[in-house]
Amino acid sequence: MVENQSKADHVVNEDVRKIPLAIDPNLIRPLPSFVPPTNDIGSEDQLDNNTEQTPAASQSLINNPYETYGNLPLDKLIPIILQSRGPGSKFADLSEEALLEEIAKEPTQTHSIANGDIDIDMNDSEATGSAGDQILIPQPIEGTLNEDEENDMTHEQFQQLRKNAVLSLDLALNESSLALEFVSLLLSSVRPSAATASMSPFLKKTVPSASLNAEKVPYEKPKESEIMEGNLVTKGWKLRSLEESRLLMKETHKALELTVEREQNYWSKLSHYISRKDVVFRMKDKETGERTLGLKYGYEDSGSRYKQERGIAILRHEPKNNTLEIVPSETQQASALGRLNQERFLRVRIFNKIEEEDDYILSGETSLDELLIPSNNLAEEQDIRRQIARLQFFIFEKELMFHMKKEAANLISYGVSIENENKITVEFATEKMEFEMISLTDDIVMNRQQDAPKTNDKKARLILVMLRMLLVTMFKKQLKRNLVLEQKGESAPKNSPRSQNHEVLLLRPILGKFRHANYLDLLQNVVKTYVLDVVEGATLKDSTIEKTKSSDTFGEQGFDKHIVKLDREIKLFESILRKPRTYLTLLLPSAGEIEFGLESSNYCNASTTVKYINDSGTTLFNTKFSNFKELEDFLHFIVSEYVKENGTQV
């Protein structure tokens, strides 16, 4: 018993070190069991756990000295207290002052005693340690929970956490009910009725009411300085938060003001440069990912069916210079692919053949378009309209070349060859034309005016202009077709590529003109040699105008005015676009006449119809030649058979 007592002494002191209480719950073990105020946990279990002292399995309440202390009836508690204070002490001797003194002395005391008995100390620290763990557990719960939301929580982990949470809740509940009991008991001496209402039955049964008393502690009014301090802190916080809010607003204001300025700039530029005729739409800038506006500079809506390039640019605000930029969406992709210079223009060159040698000499070439020459004026250079015009120019030139190459592919037999993907050559008897796509480089821009003007410069320019106009006419035709179909309520049919090819009329009309002029020369030469030089008084006259009466009928009056307008504009080019034909009438004195018709079925070839009508008006011959040699023979034949004969007859 003495040993037990001394052990108890150590233990009590050890416990006190952690919790300022004079009782070791372990000591209660040999004593009769008690009923806890909350009856959710069996007392038997508690005892069992107590003896085992297993921290993991222990129900939180067991090791809590407060609990055991609170649960003890006073008649058992007081002897224990006396026991712990050593023999000879009396309960009546205990006073608040003495206890305070003891507590103040405690740390050193317990330390020395604890060293005395390691075994118990170990044992106990384990027990209290586990109690401490459990108190601390609620904190880690949150942390681990958050982490585990991301990583999958294993079932055991979850169970563990749940158990911990339940334990903490139990502990809290128990603590609070203990506090309630204590307050109730304290209150019972003053207001018994109010106190008994909140007492647990166990307390009522075991402890007589009004058995606990305490001195009244007067309410201490907070000191002036404390109030001051509190107010100061409050005001300080307030000021700080206001300051923070001010800073936040200021920063946001700055940022937003910048944005407003940028927007304002962007939109005022837009309204300045973008007219109602532009095709503008929302699109996403692939480079920056911003939502922005796109502008279509391609000619798709104008009747172009060029699909190699979409002709779409992004209207981007350049924050550095505060300017509006127009960036073709294709160049973004092209630069990503490493194809940088997309700026190409078509150049027409005319070479004349040197008679003796088999060589050509450059006799004319088109100059650089004004649009391509960089302006000295910076403002003009930044002009969006100019940039758009450039983009339109380049896409137009590309399309022109695209179609020309397609057309040229079928014209090899007429001296047209595609030298490479950027060059088409057309050869005639005495000259050669080159249509070449040239990359717009600085060199070209620099050297643009170095050469002296050449004789055929104008011709080259005229041909280039006509090529462009013919492409526009192609657009117009397409546009008209779409409009007519639209008016008829049909959707535009998807033309097959073949029919599309067929419609391309760029090189052929121009080429045809040259070839036709050559054929006409030939024909006239033939006629001159075989008829005019032989038959006296014979005259040749051009009857083309009589033969080709204009069939200008605006039969489409029922159509929309846009269609009519397009129609008229297309008809303007009829003289260029129609297959060349020339009619000549050879009047033979008193021997009738010969009508020649020089026609072409595909612009480039030539066939001659010859019709001989004799004096009396009967048609004796009406044939067709595609070979001038045969024509010569035939003319010779007619002249010798009919004309000469006739003449001698006369």
Partner 1 sequence: MSDRGLLEQLNRITDTLSRSLANLVKNSSISKEGDEDEHGNYNTPESAARTSTSGLMLVNAQTAQLIRGIQDLMVMTRTIREKWLLTQIPDENDESQLELDYKKCSQLLEQWEKEVLG
Shortest distance in whole angstroms from residue 184 CB to partner 1 = 25
Asked whether position 249 contacts partner 1 by CB under 8 A, the answer is yes
Beta carbon nearer to partner 1, 74 or 228: 228
Question: What is the C-alpha separation between 358 and 354, in angstroms, rounded?
Answer: 7
Binder among 89, 154, 234, 455 for partner 1 (CB under 8 A): 234
Tokens coding 206: 């075991």
Binder among 242, 354, 429, 445 for partner 1 (CB under 8 A): 242
Beta carbon nearer to partner 1, 65 or 509: 509
Beta carbon nearer to partner 1, 147 or 261: 261
For residues 470 and 505, the answer to whether their CB atoms sit within 8 Å is: yes
Beta carbon nearer to partner 1, 195 or 577: 577
For residues 389 and 326, the answer to whether their CB atoms sit within 8 Å is: no
Shortest distance in whole angstroms from residue 364 CB to partner 1 = 11
Q: At what angle do helices 118-136 and 138-150 cross, to 10 degrees?
A: 50
User: What amino acid is encoded at 9 in this protein?
Assistant: D
Q: Is 586 helix (H, G, I), strand (E, B) or coil?
A: strand
- Please give the residues from 255 up to 294 whose contact with partner 1 meets the rule CB under 8 A: 256, 259-260, 263, 267, 270-271, 274, 276-277, 280-282, 293
Count Cβ atoms below 10 Å from residue 128 Cβ, excluding itself.
21
Q: Is 284 helix (H, G, I), strand (E, B) or coil?
A: strand
Beta carbon nearer to partner 1, 215 or 220: 220
Residue of 477, 534, 540, 474 whose CA lies nearest to 508: 474
Beta carbon nearer to partner 1, 101 or 226: 226
Print the binding letters for residues 574-603 with partner 1: x by CB under 8 A, - otherwise.
-xx---------------------------
Q: At what angle do helices 118-136 and 2-18 cross, to 10 degrees?
A: 30
Beta carbon nearer to partner 1, 234 or 590: 234
Tokens coding 370: 């004004």
Instruction: Report CA-CA distances (Å) from 593 to 28, 616, 628.
Output: 150, 10, 19
Beta carbon nearer to partner 1, 37 or 509: 509
Beta carbon nearer to partner 1, 158 or 267: 267
Tokens coding 166: 């339940």
Asked whether position 514 contacts partner 1 by CB under 8 A, the answer is yes
Q: Applying CB under 8 A, which part among 23-31, 95-103, 247-255, 591-599 lies near partner 1? A: 247-255
Asked whether position 302 contacts partner 1 by CB under 8 A, the answer is no
Q: Applying CB under 8 A, which part among 83-91, 121-129, 230-238, 413-421 lies near partner 1? A: 230-238
Question: What is the C-alpha separation between 164 and 308, in angstroms, rounded?
Answer: 70
Shortest distance in whole angstroms from residue 243 CB to partner 1 = 10
Q: Applying CB under 8 A, which part among 100-108, 239-247, 357-365, 607-615 lies near partner 1? A: 239-247
Beta carbon nearer to partner 1, 242 or 354: 242
Binder among 222, 319, 453, 537 for partner 1 (CB under 8 A): 222
Element (H, E) at 625: strand 619-625
- Please give the residues from 342 up to 401 whose contact with partner 1 meets the rule CB under 8 A: none
Binder among 252, 302, 487, 525 for partner 1 (CB under 8 A): 252
The half-sphere exposure of 531 on its side-chain side, counting CA atoms within 13 A, is 31
Instruction: Report CA-CA distances (Å) from 195 to 29, 135, 201, 215.
Output: 31, 30, 12, 17
Helix residue spans in 602-649 (DSSP H): 628-638, 644-649
Shortest distance in whole angstroms from residue 436 CB to partner 1 = 19
For residues 408 and 423, the answer to whether their CB atoms sit within 8 Å is: no
Asked whether position 230 contacts partner 1 by CB under 8 A, the answer is yes
Count Cβ atoms below 10 Å from residue 227 Cβ, excluding itself.
11
Residue of 58, 65, 52, 240 whose CA lies nearest to 133: 58
- Please give the residues from 398 up to 427 whose contact with partner 1 meets the rule CB under 8 A: none
Nearby residues of 186 by Cβ (< 8 Å), 6 or more positions away: 195, 212, 213, 214
Q: Applying CB under 8 A, which part among 86-94, 199-207, 426-434, 567-575 lies near partner 1? A: 567-575
Question: What is the C-alpha separation between 196 and 134, in angstroms, rounded?
Answer: 32
Asked whether position 237 contacts partner 1 by CB under 8 A, the answer is yes
Shortest distance in whole angstroms from residue 195 CB to partner 1 = 25
Question: What is the C-alpha separation between 582 and 543, in angstroms, rounded?
Answer: 8
For residues 402 and 395, the answer to whether their CB atoms sit within 8 Å is: no
Asked whether position 211 contacts partner 1 by CB under 8 A, the answer is no
For residues 422 and 519, the answer to whether their CB atoms sit within 8 Å is: no
Shortest distance in whole angstroms from residue 283 CB to partner 1 = 11
Binder among 235, 254, 307, 502 for partner 1 (CB under 8 A): 235
Task: Please provide residue 489's backbone torsions phi and psi, each rounded to the nearest 5 degrees.
Answer: 80, 20
Q: Tokens 């108890």 belong to which residue?
A: 8
Task: Please provide residue 623's backbone torsions phi and psi, each rounded to the nearest 5 degrees.
Answer: -130, 175
For residues 303 and 477, the answer to whether their CB atoms sit within 8 Å is: yes
Q: Applying CB under 8 A, which part among 69-77, 223-231, 387-395, 445-453 lies near partner 1? A: 223-231
Shortest distance in whole angstroms from residue 608 CB to partner 1 = 19
Q: Is 401 helix (H, G, I), strand (E, B) or coil?
A: helix
Nearby residues of 624 by Cβ (< 8 Å), 6 or more positions away: 607, 608, 609, 610
Question: What is the C-alpha separation between 402 and 334, in angstroms, rounded?
Answer: 18
Shortest distance in whole angstroms from residue 330 CB to partner 1 = 22
- Applying CB under 8 A, the site for partner 1 has a residue count of 49
Shortest distance in whole angstroms from residue 51 CB to partner 1 = 43
Beta carbon nearer to partner 1, 103 or 227: 227
- Please give the residues from 138 up to 167 whose contact with partner 1 meets the rule CB under 8 A: none
Asked whether position 438 contacts partner 1 by CB under 8 A, the answer is no
Shortest distance in whole angstroms from residue 238 CB to partner 1 = 6
Tokens coding 82: 């006396």
Q: Tokens 């009411």 belong to which residue?
A: 209
Beta carbon nearer to partner 1, 120 or 467: 467
Asked whether position 429 contacts partner 1 by CB under 8 A, the answer is no
Task: Please provide residue 375's backbone torsions phi and psi, each rounded to the nearest 5 degrees.
Answer: -85, 150
Print the binding letters for residues 102-141 with partner 1: x by CB under 8 A, - otherwise.
----------------------------------------
- Please give the residues from 447 up to 466 whose contact with partner 1 meets the rule CB under 8 A: 458-459, 462-463, 466
Residues found near partner 1 in the complex (CB under 8 A): 222, 226-227, 229-231, 233-235, 237-242, 244-245, 248-249, 252, 256, 259-260, 263, 267, 270-271, 274, 276-277, 280-282, 293, 458-459, 462-463, 466, 510, 513-514, 517, 568-569, 572-573, 575-576
